[in-house]
Amino acid sequence: MRKEFKVGVLVSGRGSNLQALIDKVHNKTFKHVNSQRVKISVVVVISDREKAYALERARKAGIEALWMNPKIFETREDYDLAVAEKLKKRKVDLVVLAGYMRIVSPAFLKEFPDAVINIHPALLPAFPGLHGQRQAIEYGVRVSGCTVHFVDEGVDTGPPIIQVPVQVKNGDDEDSLARRILKREHQALPKAVKLIATGRVKKMGRKVIVLESALKEKLRDVATSLWI
């Protein structure tokens, strides 16, 4: 018997992380921790921006693509609940924020408890919020990276699931560092979705437990290419 694990993706921009999900996990089947086969399906992509190229990426992949205009809603919560309704109607198991430039409200999170994740271009809790790459350059750190984390009511404060380091090189500026971090984002986000869909992630308060076999695989992947 094969189970379908349904993913909804919220986007605002060009959607390169969405493309990584499409390429690496969408319509692919993986072995669940209980030996059942699981098919991961991106069933809908929703954007708060009409011209977001991510919507075109979704359409090209045969995925339902929706623009929902925040300006027609009176409050942020009204908008979030309308988005949540679209996701719940499609029976989404996991919501992925992939370059989504809005802070989701507590009302939205209540609709998807422990089922909303985000990708951030820094090693949280360092450099939350906008321009994490610029913050790293200005602070002078030698290592930055990316974090896939569960979303809570704060700004980039949820428990990390996967963190991948990227060296800050001499002469780096915000753009050059961002390009190298983005390569790691394209690996980390699909990996996190796969781990969750196959039952290998357990959230216990602030702690996220990744099953040992999956953790070894994840660390091996990171160790082979730490510095890019």
| CA distance linking residue 197 with residue 187, whole number of Å | 16
What is the torsional sign of CA 101, 105, 108, 113? positive
By C-alpha distance, which of 98, 105, 99 is closest to 84? Answer: 105
The answer to whether residues 44 and 92 touch, using CB atoms and an 8 Å cutoff, is yes
Q: Tokens 């780096």 label which residue? A: 172
| Fold (CATH) for 119-228 | Rossmann fold (3.40.50)
C-alpha distances out from residue 161 to 45, 50, 169, 203, 209, Å: 22, 31, 26, 9, 8
Q: Determine the pLDDT at residue 218.
A: 53
| Fold (CATH) for 1-113 | Rossmann fold (3.40.50)
Structure tokens at 71: 């300006």
By C-alpha distance, which of 165, 166, 162 is closest to 191? Answer: 162
Q: Determine the pLDDT at residue 212.
A: 60
Distance from the first to the final alpha carbon of the chain: 41
Domain residue spans of the chain: 1-113, 119-228
Q: What is the pLDDT along the chain (228 residues), one digit of tens a residue?
A: 469 999 999 999 999 999 999 999 999 999 999 889 999 999 999 999 999 999 999 999 999 999 999 999 999 999 999 999 999 999 999 999 999 999 999 999 999 999 999 999 999 999 999 999 999 999 999 999 999 999 999 999 999 999 999 999 999 999 999 999 999 999 999 999 999 999 999 999 899 999 866 555 554 554 444 433
| CA distance linking residue 209 with residue 192, whole number of Å | 12
Q: Determine the pLDDT at residue 205.
A: 87
**pTM for this predicted structure:** 0.91
By C-alpha distance, which of 211, 163, 191 is closest to 30? Answer: 191
Q: Tell me, yes or no, if the two domains 1-113 and 119-228 fold the same way.
A: yes
Beta bridge partners of 149: 118, 160
| CA distance linking residue 179 with residue 130, whole number of Å | 16
Residues with catalytic annotation?
Answer: 120
DSSP one-letter code for 227: -
DSSP one-letter code for 114: T
| CA distance linking residue 147 with residue 167, whole number of Å | 14
